[in-house]
Amino acid sequence: MKLIFAGTPEFAALALEAIIAAGHQVALVLTQPDRAAGRGMALRQSPVKLLAVGAGIEVLQPPTLKDAAVQERIRTVGAEAMVVAAYGLILPQAVLDMPRFGCINIHGSLLPRWRGAAPVQRAILAGDSETGVCIMQMDAGLDSGPVLLSERLPIASDETAASLHDKLARVGARLIVDVLARLPMVAQPQPEAGASYAAKVGKAEGILDWRLPAPQLAARVRAFNPYPGASCSLDGRVLKLWRAEAVAGAGSPGEVLVADRDGVVIACGEGALRVTELQSAGGKRLSVTQFLVGTRVRPGSRCAVSDS
């Protein structure tokens, strides 16, 4: 099948790789413009662009798809379908209508729950026991189109956004190849009951409020690993917390109760949080044992209580 692929991050790159391996002709790849990143703020190509260039596929990086010249370039491809995965740009109706089989989206949730930009993080934050992938026929709404194929996936109690992302990406890559082989398919309209919106995650959300119950804070640590990272200020020193679990404990919110090889235990609004992997500003991610070798943390010291 002659296709256009639109996507940007690693989640999308895995799907593109599977589509190429399945023998489809990807005539054009759309991806976000190169972005400045890292300490040197050098321009960085997206994972999708790197894969496409390596495969010899033409890459187009418009800042918008509303431009008439961009739309004409898409039209001239004559694609039978456009596959979209975490692209990051809105597709105008004119673009949605161009391919014979329309535009088909890979979405990392069980629609209509968690429509929007951050379904993986929001599912973990909400304490959902399962999520999944939907292959959806796109319409003008926000992830509201009918579903062609879906698959459920349990969320483990220690699941991070990183680990869940990777599982969903593999499922999405497999399902999109299945759908492309079966087109045309009958799509099932989404029910409106149970619809929810997964807002984009902001950096400020990672700042922990120790007045919250420990299970909520543990969920935040997992949901914000790797981005933006859960953080706190301990005696004026900013720390990133990468692995933690809710445990029994009582004290003033933000108070360090224990600091030993088993973890740094910090009192919460209810219960306590045992941190087992953390990082100082400018340092590396370390196990608690490694961290305490170079950094002294005393019981009774305090994490600042945030108003986040």
2-198 and 203-294: identical CATH topology: no
Mean pLDDT of the chain: 95
pLDDT digits (tens, 9 = 90+) for 126-181: 999 999 999 999 999 999 999 999 999 999 999 999 999 999 999 999 999 999 99
Burial class (CB in 10 A: 0-12, 13-18, 19+), 27: middle
Percent of the chain exceeding pLDDT 70 equals 98
Confidence check: pLDDT of 308 > 70: no
Domain 203-294: assigned CATH number: 3.10.25.10
What residue ranges do the domains of the chain occupy? 2-198, 203-294
Task: Give the pLDDT mean for 190-204.
Answer: 94
Does the domain formed by 2-198 have CATH 3.40.50.170? Answer: yes
